[in-house]
Amino acid sequence: MKNNEQLSNENKHNQNVNSKIYDCAVFGGGVVGTAVLNKLTRLGKKAILLEIGEDVCTGMSKANSAIAHAGFDAQPETLKAKLNVKGKLILDTLCQELSVPYTQVGAVVAGNDMKKLEILKEQGIKNGVPDLEIIEGDRLHKLVPNLKREIKYALYAPTSCIVNVFMLTIALAEEAVINGADFRFSYDTKSIKFEDDIFTISDNNEKICAKHIINSTGWGYNNIAKLLGVEEYPLSYRRGEYYVLDREVGDYVGLTVFPLPTHLGKGILATPTTDGNVLFGPTSENCSSLDPIITPAGLKRIKDSICSMFIKPPFNKAIREYAGIRVGSGNDFIIEKSKINPKVINLCGINSPGLTAAPAIAEMVCDLLNFKGDEIEIIRRKPYGFIQDKNSKQLEEMIKENPKFGNILCKCEMVSEAEILNAIHSPLKPHTLDSIKRRVRPTAGHCQGGFCMLKVARLISNELNIPLQKVIKETSKSYIFDNDNESGTQSNKDLKQS
């Protein structure tokens, strides 16, 4: 029960800013932030997600290897080790509940240093990873037919999985919103005031009140910590570059293949994806800029590393290169209730295996806030349906019901007008080209949007009543049209950059 003083303070804040008071404001719409939002909502808490980007999964989370790690890599007794293994178990169930693509493909760490492989195995056993074993010879090369024959041994972790990180992050947020959570995109926080046990958050346009704050902003952790007046931490940044291969060579590797790890991380790997592509990467370069640039030197490092492990890797089938920036702080996650203001939860340095650990991190956050009790009965989100997964009879019925399922706008990925419209009108109100791509994959195929980008942009423009010249690819500055051109014709320069 709330006492009279608490009720008086809440009423005062409601009158001052004409706003409800949330139990929690979650800063950061990556996989960890949305996992926290989802868990809070399942526990019946009123929460709001504040994200500076135009959608969820636009920062660190969008550029990783999309692997649900088995958990043998992290040092025993660290948060990374404990939450990796616990998070993996939760993720197995969570992805099924959320209808998120998730496949147990297994993983191997391949190399000829038996001592290092034994150390990794023992480390994994201490962490609680099941079914680890060292394999060799014919068994190894049957698992990885394209592995070079001079590589004789590997640690095999059959419980390693691949996951669609975009759909996971979207699904976590969508389910929360359907069940009562709120969100703000493009929310650039300018001030946070703490008075009478209530935080008042402002972006100079809107004030939002909350009783607790969870800072899960990744790159921007210290920016929010400074506004809150709580603990700041030294951050380090590493750039990782990747190659994406066409679905045409999706069977080149059937499971995740790591080299022996180094002090820089797990190394340059090869892995299938849930969408049928193959990833080669990432590099790991210290950097000071948050610009995810792609460099000739980085791409060469990927080629050299992959070529040292595999037979004739099909780099000629690469359809895209991309990069992401990972942030760290020391050698472990920082997950804590602030000592300066215990109504703030600090989540800092959440890099790999942050994706796998995310559901367990969310549970830990709720424990730190002493949010207990049974989960409420929730409304399940309606998963996106994909025509490419349907047989001819099912597709015929879908088209009969809605002819727009028969209008294919993205031929590389076989995406219909109806699927794009469903995405545009989904719970998080996506409005950028990349936000639609993350949901139903137009522009993700072989031509990378060369034939369908304009068609998708027109649909966004028409459905959301946005001038075509104002439709953006990803960020507020990534216009695909030359806005100085009154006719709205495409700028060759802008198209190349997008």
Residue 90 covered by a domain: no
Measured from the Cβ of residue 248, the count of other Cβ atoms closer than 10 Å reads: 14
Q: Are residues 203 and 192 in the same domain?
A: yes
CA separation for the pair 297, 259 (Å, rounded)? 20
The per-residue pLDDT for 32 is 98
Contact 10, 198 (CB under 8 A): yes
End residue of a domain, out of 310, 341, 368:
368
pLDDT in tens, 410-469: 999 999 999 999 999 999 999 999 999 999 999 999 999 999 999 999 999 999 999 999
Q: Are residues 177 and 159 in the same domain?
A: no
The per-residue pLDDT for 484 is 54
Residue 67 covered by a domain: no
Residue 85 covered by a domain: no
Residue 119 covered by a domain: yes
Residue 69 covered by a domain: no
Contact 157, 107 (CB under 8 A): yes
pLDDT in tens, 64-122: 899 999 999 999 999 999 999 999 999 999 999 999 999 999 999 999 999 999 999 99
Amino acid at 70: A
Q: Are residues 134 and 243 in the same domain?
A: yes
The per-residue pLDDT for 5 is 52
Residue 212 sits in a domain whose CATH number is 3.50.50.60
Q: Are residues 364 and 475 in the same domain?
A: no
Q: Are residues 404 and 461 in the same domain?
A: yes
Active site residue 141: no
Domain that holds residue 402: 387-497
The per-residue pLDDT for 3 is 54
Measured from the Cβ of residue 304, the count of other Cβ atoms closer than 10 Å reads: 10
Average pLDDT over residues 288-297: 92
Q: Are residues 274 and 322 in the same domain?
A: yes
Average pLDDT over residues 269-287: 96
Two structure tokens written together for 486 = 């009154």
Among 16-25, 124-133, 366-375, 478-487, the range scoring the smallest mean pLDDT is: 478-487
CA separation for the pair 400, 277 (Å, rounded)? 31
Q: Which of the four pLDDT bands, split at 50, 70 and 90, describes residue 482? A: low
Q: Which of the four pLDDT bands, split at 50, 70 and 90, describes residue 481? A: confident
455 — phi, psi (to 5°)?
A: -65, -45
pTM for the complete prediction?
Answer: 0.92
Q: Are residues 153 and 245 in the same domain?
A: yes
- The number of distinct structural domains making up the chain is 3
Q: Are residues 229 and 358 in the same domain?
A: yes
Q: Are residues 443 and 402 in the same domain?
A: yes
The per-residue pLDDT for 475 is 80
Residue 294 sits in a domain whose CATH number is 3.30.9.10
Average pLDDT over residues 243-270: 92
Among the listed residues 69, 141, 212, 263, the single catalytic one is 69
The per-residue pLDDT for 497 is 32
